[in-house]
Amino acid sequence: MKIIVRGQKIKIPSELKSYVIEKVKKYEPLVQEPAKCEVVFEDENGLKGGIDKVVKITLSLPGLKNPIFICERSSDFMGSVDLAQERLEHQILKYKEQVKIGSRFPNKYWLEKELNTEEE
């Protein structure tokens, strides 16, 4: 998986960059190649402070028409990364189930529906 980490109007410290790469790398076995993950850091209010540290994660996977996009905000970048990572995990597992089943309405439901109509 190709991971791109960049900041929008801010400079990203190397510790934060390595923290993000470590968090996103653990999902590498779950996704098919070629996958591309772009992480963008943004500080909306600048020096004013507040809940303005935004992390945007865009994950492009093969077989998906639209990429997975996650945007989280908190008072610091580490917290935003953690929140985004939890949502990313949920979305990747949802993608894996969809790939495994093959559609949004799998055959097991059709079989159950047929069995119920035969009984009646």
E strand map for the chain: 2-8, 36-43, 53-60, 68-74
> CATH assignment of 2-119, given 3.30.565.10, 3.30.160.100, 3.40.1390.10, 3.40.50.880?
3.30.160.100
- The pLDDT tens digits for 5-51 are 998 888 889 999 999 999 888 888 888 778 899 999 998 877 777 77
- The pLDDT tens digits for 72-90 are 988 888 888 999 989 988 8
Cis omega (within 30 of 0) on the bond before 34? yes
- The pLDDT tens digits for 101-112 are 665 555 666 666
Tell me the β-bridge partners of 82. Answer: none
Q: What predicted TM-score, i.e. pTM, was given to this entire model?
A: 0.74
User: CA separation (Å) from 77 to 4, 16, 35, 73, 80?
Assistant: 16, 8, 24, 8, 5
Q: How far apart are CA 57 and CA 83, in angstroms?
A: 11
